[in-house]
Each structure stands twice: as structure tokens, then as C-alpha cells.
Structure 1
């Protein structure tokens, strides 16, 4: 309850007293604000010498990090500690190098005892399935650098394999003659040759392939077998198919050409039932991308 003195006070004085009693938090915040203002003033008036002292202190600390004369340490490690670290690194890497060298030596000793020994993996005495390497297959390669429309057909190198040259007589000779005539070539019966015939996969392919030329003997000379490092790249182990007179060069609608080539010998099995991944056994299946071929022809003109 208000007293008589309070009632007798002027209204303005009373309002001021009420305002002071109602905001005690503002009175508490005043010293904090004053302290912050003083700190800001101190920072503004801080002499530049103190900043230079901090920089010198930082440089001194880095110098001690690099080399501390009291402890005799370099990069926080004494010379003895560095010797131990380096010895550990040399030991670890020495073990890794020794283990790698031992594995490589064992691999070479097992796989390739020497260049004259028989290879480890051979079809007739291994468990490899499907069996491989009992007879050679052919390899076809486009030769854009030599001629945009030429394909080289070579025979793979099989260790210790010799062809048994077929004797062509009667109907067998007629079939060979017809097949080679489609390639604008002929049988070479006066020389022991593993003949190769090439034929389009479909009727359309055969029509596009009409006019193909054989450069050289259509096959491989038997005297170049068995394969060895000295004769594996000899001319007698490959021949060239020239498609410059076919529809690949003349027909703009020819978009693709797929043909099969087969090597003919008594010890090469060409049965269709053994076809693996699209390649005929003892042969090769090759597909021309005629778009790329024509672009090569245009740029070469």
C-alpha cells in the first residue's frame, strides 16, 4: 500500500522511480558493455610492436621445430630416432622387394624354364575347357595403312605343330578349285601349301565380296612349319585379300561384310559343330565396317 508521502510526490518523479525499479537487467548489462568498449579501444590502440613480437615468437617456434639445440632434435626427432625410422623403412621395403622377386622367379621358372622347352599349357595334356591349341586358327587384320580395302589373313603360331598337306583329287579338287575361283585365285598343287578358302557368311555378303583378289598364294607354305621365333612373321605365313574391286568400293548401299576363312589340311578339323565364339575351327570370321572403310578411302583420295 502506498503511503501518504508517495501520494503527495509529483507524478513525474514517481514515474522515474518506477522506471528504475522495473529495469534492473539494464543496470547489470551496463558494466559488460563498458568492458567490451574498453577492450575494443585497447585493440585499436595496441602498438604495432606487439604484432612484431608475435611474429618473432612464431619464427622462433618454427626454428626450434626444425632444429632444437638444447634437445639436439631435428623435426622433433633426435638423430637416433631418425636412424631407427629409416632402418625400419629399409627393412619393410626390402622384404616387399624380396617377396616380389621370389614370386616373379617362381612364375618364370614354372611357365618358361627356357625358350627351348615345351610350353606348360597345351591342349592335349591339360584340363583346360574348352580345349585349345591343338590346331592353329587364322587371324584376320585390316590394313588401312597399306590399303584401306585390304585384309591380312595369317595363321597362328602353335608349338611343334606341322600341317599334313591334303591331297586334292577328284571331287575334293573340284570343290577347292571352285572356292578359289570365287576369290579369283587357283590351287597351288606343285608346292606343299595349306590352302585357305574365304567365303561370305550370307548371300548378301557373298554378293558384296564378289571381285575379291588374292595377293600371293591363297594359303601357307608347309616348309614354314613348325612355328618358331625366326619364321613366325615370314611372308609365307600370311596373304592379302584385296577388296578394292568389290562392292565395298563401288556400292554405297553396302553397309557390312562378314566372311569366313578356313585353312585346309588333313590335321585341321573344320567341322561346324566345334565353332566357338563365332570363329570356325581352323579359321577366322571377320566383319568389315564399311562405313569406316569408306571414310578411310575418302580421306586417302
Structure 2
């Protein structure tokens, strides 16, 4: 199965008051280019992100973004009771020294550094969760690329069928074109000479036929069509191979157009070039 290089995937998860979300955007590219965007808290995951993407993908430009959000609505707060007791004892002693004991404002104590802290998820557990979510996002991305690849394969195969039909049209027209060429040359000779030299006429017909002979181009077109079909049906990383075959198909179509001396074969050559260009545009998205 061939795969497209264009896709999007997102996965979300939650762990101990932290929301995580991976977003992966993939577009066509000649090689594999990975651009991770990670929060500072999980910056150490960059190597793992690159390795996992390289293991699953071979081509495409990837924007891999991890969104990190701590849950502010329900924070996990931890009170350092030992520190609070020490602060209270120190405050009482200071009050005795200045002979003005008074009362300690609890809110002021809470503002003291280290008294109150938010408990975060265990760093190792958080990284493991993030990596597991990344694998899910890559699974989703690959599934999307495969679904789109199926559509691209169908489009390419449909165009190959139409190309085959144009080759049949040209082959069927060649005998008629050669007969028409012979008659046209004979008429021209008779317009100039009273008696046509049949031997010389046949020589001219042969020379003209050689110039417009496209049997070899048609054979190569059919061979390339068979190879493209084989590559598409085999699947895998076929993009570069298919791109090369589009160049070969286009070369044969151009030669056919340059040798054409008939409106029907000219129309067929133009149609071939249109079909090949339609395939080439879609093949740019194949991995």
C-alpha cells in the first residue's frame, strides 16, 4: 500500500494535573524533515521524538508539537508544616524580644518561600505518558496517510487506464494515416508530373513513414504504464520511483507529439500529456 505524505493527527492525555496534547502536521517533502516543538519541561524528549518519527516515516516535512498545560482549576497543593512551625516559633521569639507578641497572619506565612508548593507529576511518569501519546499520534498519522494513499493509488490507476486507451487509439489510426500519406504524396506528384514514378513515390512514402513512425514510442509508453501499475500495486515507499517514471512517460508523449502529422494523433498526444501531468501532481504527495 502506498502512503500519502499529507496528513494531520492529534492525541490528548492527562496525568496528575497536567494536560498533554500532541499535534503532528505532515506535508510533502523530498526527504524526511522533523521539526519538534516541545515545552521546556519536556525538552529532553526531542531525541525520542526524532527517533520515533524516523522509525515510522521515510519522507515528508513534519511539524511535531507537544502542548503542556497544568490544571489550574484543581491544583495539588502541599503544605510544608515543619517550615510553618519554624516560622511561627521564630515569629513568637521576635515578638518576645520586641515585647509586642501580636498574632501571625496566616496569609503572610503562606507567601513565605517553600511553605506552599504545587505537587507536579513524577517527571519519569510524565515523560512515559508523553511518549505513549506520541506513539498513538504517529499511529493515527500513518492511518490517515494510508487512507489518502489509497485514494492517490486509485487516481493514478484510473489515469493509467486512460493512457492505455489513448495508445490503442493511436495504434488503430496508424494504418489509416500511412494510407492517407501515400495517397497525398501520389496526388502531389501527379499534379506536377503527367506520369508518376511508382518506385520514387514508394521511396518518398517510406521516408515520410519513418519520420512519423511512433511504434517504438507506443511500445515504451505501454512498458512504462505496466511498470507504474506494478509499483503502485506493490506499495511501500514508491514516490521517488513513480516520479522518475512520470518523466519517462512525459518524454515519450513529447516525442509522439513532435512526430504527429494527423489531428487524431496530435489530440491523443495532448491528452497523454494532460493525464501524465495529473498523475505527476498527485505523485508529489506519495511517500
Q: Does the alignment reach a TM-score above 0.5? A: no
Higher helix share: 2
Larger Rg: 1
Q: Which has the higher contact order (CA 8 A, sep 6+)?
A: 2
TM-score, structure 2 length as denominator? Answer: 0.26
